[in-house]
Amino acid sequence: MAFKRYREMIIDYRTGDDIVAIRDHSQGVFLKGDVFTAMAMQRNGCGCIILVDIGLKSDRPFTKCPVCDMNDEKTDNVWWVDARAFRKLLTRSEEADLAEVLSEVLTKELINLN
């Protein structure tokens, strides 16, 4: 069931955004916490997932879908990776705003429990 949940995750960024890896790549080309810029995005040929270009290069003639295992022939030298492995990197002000909102919500929840 965890795989199904992971498959349905929403991509919260777009081309040009700074993104952070939320898990290690299966072949070790990036690790959780690594930061990149989303240079381009595209849906893979089978349509199962969105792929993102994070600046890695590959001479492999295809990209393999991690969902259905279909090989998608490539026409470029980009190492396209699963976009679900990343989240938008928040700015310091966005982090502060989020922390403030979470603090308020949790405080209200604790008060309601008492």
Query: Per-domain residue ranges for the chain?
Result: 2-113
Residue 85 confidence (pLDDT) = 93
What is the fold of 2-113?
SH3 type barrels. (2.30.30)
| Amino acid at residue number 52 | V
Residue 3 confidence (pLDDT) = 45
Rounded Cα distance between 49 and 101, Å, is: 32
SS3 for 30?
Answer: coil
What is the value of pTM for the model shown? 0.73
Nearest residue to 36 via CA among 50, 59, 61, 19:
19
pLDDT band at residue 7 under the 50/70/90 scheme: low
Q: pLDDT by residue (tens digit) across 36-72?
A: 999 999 998 888 889 999 999 988 888 888 889 888 8
Q: pLDDT by residue (tens digit) across 11-36?
A: 889 999 999 999 999 889 999 999 99
What are the φ and ψ backbone dihedral angles of 34, each rounded to 5 degrees?
-65, 140
